[in-house]
Amino acid sequence: MSHNAESTAFRSALDVIRAVEPRVADAISAELADQRESLKLIASENYASPATLLAMGNWFSDKYAEGTVGRRFYAGCQNVDTVEALAAEHAKELFGAAHAYVQPHSGIDANLVAFWAILADRVESPALKKAQKRQVNDLTEADWFALRRELGNQRMLGMSLDAGGHLTHGFRPNISGKMFDQRSYGTDPATGLIDYDRVAEAAREFTPLILVAGYSAYPRKVNFRIMREIADSVGATFMVDMAHFAGLVAGKVFTGDFDPVPHAHIVTTTTHKSLRGPRGGMVLCGPELADQVDRGCPMVLGGPLPHVMAAKAVALAEARRPDFADYARRIVDNAQALADGLLRRGATLVTGGTDNHLVLIDVSGYGLTGRQAEQALLDSGIVTNRNAVPQDPNGAWYTSGIRIGTPALTTRGLGAAEMDATAELIHTVLTQTSAGTGPDGAPSKAKYVLDPATAESVGKQAADLLTPFPLYPEVTLA
């Protein structure tokens, strides 16, 4: 059998890996098979192109490249300079940003870079100024004490976790919650929507140094113009974490007041999710913060990953093509079709629908916790993740919600008809699943009961639904 370039590349790579550790090669092959056979509805996942995947497996992996383009602490980085500059150039053109920093390894890293850049720019401290000028050896113990106190005592206002915010926006389990004196804004209890008047009131009361917007489980648009006005009214730096919806910004689905880049002082993102690139992070900002952002390594980052920056350059180049805008529009169309299908079948959705790529189902109406629903769906070939809903009585571990998203299935080519069929499969599983009991007979938040025949039937229907939409059809491993 003849093979195209993609098949030849991946087959050859697996052959080389198998000669050293066959179990790793087998796991890689199994992962492709699993992804091909599952309805992947995790809102934060997607499928990167073969070109993007291949850009990560090369000799750039062997390079140390601390510093920035043209200013490295290691010699021999001219080719790293090329790919990092290309990635930054594509990012600036794609998002209309003045400056792009493409070194962060993840969204958390990107947020840390942004936080420290803001602190360094905003906090007036002689000790900090010494540290910025690399006069670290001149800092006394008193300087260090004052610096730790000043930098660890600043205020951040961000969206609450149960309203759809992210751990990195100041919550205690994350380092951001230890760095900042944090307060959260929630959503209107009746609608689940951001109440901008209440955000403004919270900002006036708390006077934060940083106002953070962005989300991981809020199914609506955010008006960034209004949020910037709130930040300006209290003298806060306005930061947006657009990790989840960066693809919708890149594809010009979110424009005007709903595009964060013209309104925020600094924007962070991941490069996967709806942007469909490699796992990694990125920071966009204006010239006033550029110097501080470029100190991300060694400020909070280890050495850059040149092979991942190469893949970012490829993915960002793909996102600049006209067909990416069509893809971004279809993500939202599919999410709205999926939401409509669930609503028609009686499901309860947070905010009653969606404007973006994700849908949040309140599964308490089915008598289930999020953990029970997540596992029952997984048993049936539908991959989702549990998620808290506003004022969630089950907390962040068991939850009362299921978050689903459409970027991955849209990449495969599924459309509105398939979204309606997916809604039917989800509804079938949830209505046929009941809460289980623990060893003492008490109700359990984790155990559940689902007839294996139902799970098998739904799994087969899910596989049949995917058959006309093969994943990586250009790649054959056999």
The single residue listed with the structure tokens 């070939």 is: 381
What span, in angstroms and rounded, lies between the C-alpha atoms of 76 and 470? 42
Verify whether residue 273 is a known catalytic residue. Answer: yes
Verify whether residue 64 is a known catalytic residue. Answer: yes
Kindly name the residue from 11, 36, 63, 64 that is annotated as catalytic: 64
Angle of helix 196-206 relative to helix 224-234, nearest 10 degrees?
Answer: 20
Whole-Å CA distances, 83 to 88, 264, 321: 9, 27, 19
What span, in angstroms and rounded, lies between the C-alpha atoms of 120 and 270? 23
Residues 6+ apart with CB under 8 A from 410: 327, 330, 331, 334
Residues 6+ apart with CB under 8 A from 196: 223, 226, 227, 230
Kindly name the residue from 72, 273, 330, 403 that is annotated as catalytic: 273
Q: Which amino acid is at 230?
A: I
Are 388 and 371 in contact by the 8 Å Cβ rule? The answer is: no
Surface-to-core class of residue 108, CB atoms within 10 Å of its CB (0-12 exposed, 13-18 middle, 19+ buried): buried
Verify whether residue 191 is a known catalytic residue. Answer: no
Kindly name the residue from 66, 188, 195, 291 that is annotated as catalytic: 66
Kindly name the residue from 92, 221, 225, 279 that is annotated as catalytic: 279
For residues 238-263, one letter each, b for 16 or more C-beta atoms within 10 angstroms of the residue's C-beta and e for the rest, the string is bbbbbbbbbbbbbbebbeebbbbbeb
Are 458 and 421 in contact by the 8 Å Cβ rule? The answer is: no
Kindly name the residue from 109, 162, 241, 379 that is annotated as catalytic: 241
Answer positive or negative: Cα dihedral of 10, 15, 19, 23. Answer: positive
Verify whether residue 196 is a known catalytic residue. Answer: no
What span, in angstroms and rounded, lies between the C-alpha atoms of 210 and 146? 20
Q: Which amino acid is at 387?
A: N
What span, in angstroms and rounded, lies between the C-alpha atoms of 325 and 331? 10
What span, in angstroms and rounded, lies between the C-alpha atoms of 6 and 474? 6
Surface-to-core class of residue 96, CB atoms within 10 Å of its CB (0-12 exposed, 13-18 middle, 19+ buried): exposed
Kindly name the residue from 52, 68, 268, 270 that is annotated as catalytic: 270
Active site residues: 64, 66, 241, 270, 273, 279
